[in-house]
Amino acid sequence: MDRTVRARQLRTSQQECALALAETLTVGMEDEMVAYWVARSKVNDPEQYKKYADLAPAIIGKFGGTFLARGGKFKILEGPEKFHRFVVIEFPSFEKAVSCHESPEYLEVAAHRKKDGASELEVVIVESI
């Protein structure tokens, strides 16, 4: 058999294997795209807010959440300068992010940041593209 023909067959076989592997790895994930939980907050009572900040990560982790940014350096480019703490969390899907926020354990912990106006918070969940 000609070398060129053999090389083409090998290349085709490798491509088929790569496609089969990609399909196997993504079965059941076709409709799931990561989602981001984006929060901005103003902390009015750091001691009370710390109770929330210490407990929330474990709950968020149970839902597959991974912190990408949490209270680091920031610059407000547009909009009100009311908020001074920003958090970005990646979740495996939009549904997981919503389920986390609505879960009884998260709501119980979130009560710490709400107690006596310990913080003001805006949260949005946005699906990736």
94-105 pLDDT tens trace: 999 999 999 999
Do both 58 and 3 map to the same domain?
no
The string over 9-24, giving b where at least 16 C-beta atoms fall within 10 Å of a residue's C-beta and e elsewhere, is: eeeeeeeeeeeeeeee
Do both 44 and 102 map to the same domain?
yes
Domain count, the chain: 2
For residue 47, the enclosing domain spans: 35-127
Do both 9 and 63 map to the same domain?
no
Do both 17 and 67 map to the same domain?
no
Cβ proximity of 35 and 93 under 8 Å: yes
Do both 1 and 26 map to the same domain?
yes
Cα 11 to Cα 27: distance, rounded to the nearest angstrom: 24
Does residue 109 surpass a pLDDT of 80? yes
Does residue 28 surpass a pLDDT of 80? no
State the pTM of this model. 0.74
Section 85-113 average pLDDT? 97
Per-residue model confidence (pLDDT) at position 10: 47
Per-residue model confidence (pLDDT) at position 18: 52
Does residue 22 surpass a pLDDT of 90? no
Do both 46 and 108 map to the same domain?
yes
Per-residue model confidence (pLDDT) at position 29: 52
Do both 2 and 54 map to the same domain?
no
Do both 24 and 58 map to the same domain?
no
**Other Cβ atoms within 10 Å of 92 Cβ, number:** 16
Do both 13 and 40 map to the same domain?
no
